[in-house]
Amino acid sequence: MERKIRVLVVDDSAVVRNMMTDILSAQPDIEVTGAAADPYFAIDKMRGNWPDVITLDVEMPRMDGLTFLRKIMKSRPTPVVICSSLTEKGAETTLEALSAGAVAIFTKPKLGVKDFLQSSAPELVDAVRAAARSRVKTINVQNTQHKPLLPERSAMIKTTETVVAIGTSTGGTLALEKILTTLPVTAPGIVIVQHMPEKFTAAFAKRLDSICAIEVREAVDGDRVRPGLALVAPGGKHMTLTRSGAFYYVAVKSGPAVNRHCPSVDVLFRSAAHCAGKNAVGIILTGMGDDGARGLQEMLESGAETFGQDEASCVVYGMPKEAVKRGAVQHVIGLGDVAGVIMRYV
């Protein structure tokens, strides 16, 4: 029998602590080792009984969650699920937390928290399980074992513009940051699905845009896909690729979750297979679950070239693993190779 996932709940709300403890303790593979009202109490509980996963509120008295997270990552890197309010301010802080090493997000409202937690229990459990499977020490590009792939002259000859479609989930925010900050303005057009709640994607795209040479923004229905631009699917909406004449555009629409996600990687990849075919490139990165595996297979069957991130450089080797199992991945590459691969299609 496998050892249970040991979880420490850190939140200044007694209601939240009790609800989360009850939800997690009800799972046969999870054990809540303690609950703390702030980081100082958490430190006391962690001595001699270090958890496998920490669920961490952002706004707390005495020490905020972001400061505590940075201390943890500096002294003893541990998978952390950030529990953040679904607000624009909360989104910006949460993105800082992801950049500092948190591996997953669980959002909660300011009001009606008890009812929300009861209805969102599966998402909380999934976030904790994903965190438990993550590798918080392997998020650095320098840790990959691959040498960068050099551009091939023949690969740069294309009759029409190439569209690069990227799908990712847990661990993807840092992976995308490492990829996109490396790309020059001559990079081909990129469309991205990163599993992330509503409001968070806009802040995420804005942050990337401020540190990248290319333009990065949250997609709007009708945006043209063009070189030097990366479009991020909005949280809570699906994004598909469309074509009009020689140009590619995105359609952003509301719709039911696919593979429990909205936006869904499968939705984007399938649209790329349909309207771009051999002029598309599919890349599936770190993440839990199997979203994107079927869509990537359809891209491959339509003539697109497909890539999957290797296990060694993934925070969670779930989505790429499922795509490899389906035979949808032509090339397995390290995170440090992705930017070089993209630039082969200029």
Query: Which are the catalytic amino acids?
Result: 169, 195, 291
Q: How many CB atoms lie within 10 A of CB 169?
A: 26
**303: its two tokens:** 């003539």
Give Cβ neighbours of residue 273 (< 8 Å, ≥ 6 apart): 280, 295, 298, 299, 301, 302, 304
Which alpha helices (DSSP H) does 134-233 contain, by range?
172-180, 200-211
The position carrying tokens 């009861």 is: 118
CB of 80 within 8 A of CB of 53?
A: yes
Could you tell me which of 174, 183, 254, 190 has the C-alpha nearest to residue 212? Answer: 183
Burial 210-227 (b: 16+ CB within 10 A, else e): eebebebbbbeeebebee
- With residue 247 as reference, give the H or E element that holds it: strand 247-253
Amino acid at 63: M
Task: Give the Cα separation of 111 and 109 in Å (integer).
Answer: 5
